[in-house]
């Protein structure tokens, strides 16, 4: 006996990826429903070797369904997630709406799977921000060994983190560089993204940081340890898929780079590719379509007493969104619902 699963936002980049990953990982699905907004009603999407037609999220009855994976943004989530939860369907939400709610667990299964038991307060579980998800997978096993005091992270985030509009804008602007007859002014981003980098993701806050940077701080504290100090600079780069991060970590105790490398090799969800030679590291292009979070360039930071630097790369549509949501569903099934 398997699960009755709903994917809301099935026509978007993340929703389609959720369907791919459910099929790839052979999640025990007895029945599946794919939902979208009214304007996308009837659009066909793939689930394994099946083709499914989308139903209307606004009128869907969640009664009798087990799990709903939401990839629809905060607005529709605010309206429909409580309805699904009230009908007895556990919502796993990819938006930012519930991440900071103390009654909603924020989960990265490799890091804090046991937090899933807190779902029952609202029948909702939150998926973290894409840039946070891959980082905490790398930080947690190191924190368990030497306790992290402070993290300085600079991100290099792909345009797919902004959805289809961001990917289209990069594509059209790149073409326009080689065909100057057509001009493609910025719409999704505040400045041109083609052949450029933009140190601005989400809105600016009073202290000069952006909301994306604030998210990384708040989510890391909630997922791993509230005592960790973290500062971030989040940058959008002209890459279609795959987020990269340069992470500097200061520990309470000394941690040798060789031991750190061994710890990360043994940690769940991580692949270490770290050769000190040309090409002995992973770039975002190479991580696309993979489940792993890749770690490279592990080295001591000699400017502080107990410091390490590392390079972290992951497919943001997978580990940063769809894969993490499906992994949460797997944990929910194994630890709580126990079907399939």
Please check whether residue 285 is in contact with residue 242, taking contact to mean a CB–CB distance below 8 angstroms: yes
Measure Cα distances from 1 to 27, 30, 224, 340 in Å.
Answer: 12, 7, 34, 5
Determine if residue 248 is labeled as part of a ligand binding site: no
Q: Name residues whose C-beta falls within 8 Å of residue 279's C-beta, 6 or more positions apart in sequence.
A: none
160 labelled ligand-binding = yes
Which H or E run contains 29? strand 29-36
Indicate the SS3 state at residue 48: coil
Question: For the chain, what is the total number of helices (H) and then of strands (E)?
Answer: 9, 14
Distance CA 156, CA 285 (A): 13
Question: Does the annotation list 99 as a binding residue?
Answer: yes
Kindly report the length of the chain: 340
How many whole angstroms separate alpha carbon 7 and alpha carbon 306? Answer: 44
Is 309 labelled a binding residue?
A: no
Catalytic residue among 89, 143, 234, 243: 243
Q: For the residues of 62-81, what is the DSSP string, one character each?
A: -TT--EEEE-S-HHHHHHHH
Is 39 annotated to bind a ligand? Reply is yes
Compute the distance between CA of residue 45 and CA of residue 11 in angstroms, rounded to an integer. 7
Catalytic residue of the set 130, 234, 287, 312: 130
Say whether 200 is catalytic: no
**3-state SS assignment for residue 332:** helix
Does 130 qualify as catalytic in the annotation? yes
Is residue 244 marked as binding?
no
123 annotated ligand-binding residue: no
Question: Would you please indicate which residues are annotated as catalytic (active-site) residues?
Answer: 130, 243
Annotated binding site for substrate: 157, 236
Annotated binding site for NADP(+): 11-14, 39-40, 160-161, 316
Annotated binding site for phosphate: 99
């Amino acid at each position: 006996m398997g699960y009755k699963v709903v994917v809301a936002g099935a026509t978007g980049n993340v929703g389609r990826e959720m369907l791919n990953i459910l099929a790839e990982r052979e999640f025990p699905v007895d029945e599946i429903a794919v939902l979208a907004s009214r304007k996308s009603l009837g659009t066909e999407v793939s689930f394994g070797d099946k083709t499914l037609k989308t139903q209307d999220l606004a009128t869907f009855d969640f009664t009798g369904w087990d799990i709903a994976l939401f990839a629809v943004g905060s607005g529709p989530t605010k309206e429909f997630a409580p309805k699904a939860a009230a009908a007895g369907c556990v919502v796993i939400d990819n938006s930012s709406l519930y991440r900071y709610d103390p009654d909603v667990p924020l989960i990265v299964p490799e890091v804090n799977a046991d937090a899933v038991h807190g779902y029952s307060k609202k029948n909702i579980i939150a998926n973290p921000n894409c840039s946070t998800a891959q980082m905490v997978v790398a930080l947690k096993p190191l924190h368990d060994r030497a306790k992290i005091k402070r993290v300085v992270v600079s991100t290099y985030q792909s345009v797919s983190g902004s959805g289809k509009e961001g990917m289209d804008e990069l594509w059209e602007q790149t073409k326009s560089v080689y065909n100057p007859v057509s001009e493609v002014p910025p719409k999704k981003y505040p400045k041109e993204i083609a052949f450029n980098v933009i140190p601005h993701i989400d809105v600016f806050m009073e202290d000069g940081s952006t909301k994306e940077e604030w998210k990384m701080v708040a989510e890391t504290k909630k997922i791993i340890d509230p005592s960790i100090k973290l500062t971030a600079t989040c940058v959008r780069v002209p890459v279609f898929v795959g987020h990269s991060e340069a992470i500097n970590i200061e520990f309470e105790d000394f941690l040798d780079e060789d031991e750190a490398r061994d710890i990360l090799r043994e940690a769940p969800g991580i692949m270490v590719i770290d050769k000190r030679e040309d090409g002995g590291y992973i770039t975002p292009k190479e991580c696309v379509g993979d489940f792993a979070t890749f770690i490279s360039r592990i080295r001591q930071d000699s400017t502080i007493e107990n410091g390490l630097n590392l390079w972290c790369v992951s497919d943001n549509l997978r580990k940063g969104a769809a894969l993490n949501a499906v992994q949460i569903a797997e944990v929910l099934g194994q630890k709580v619902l126990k079907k399939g």
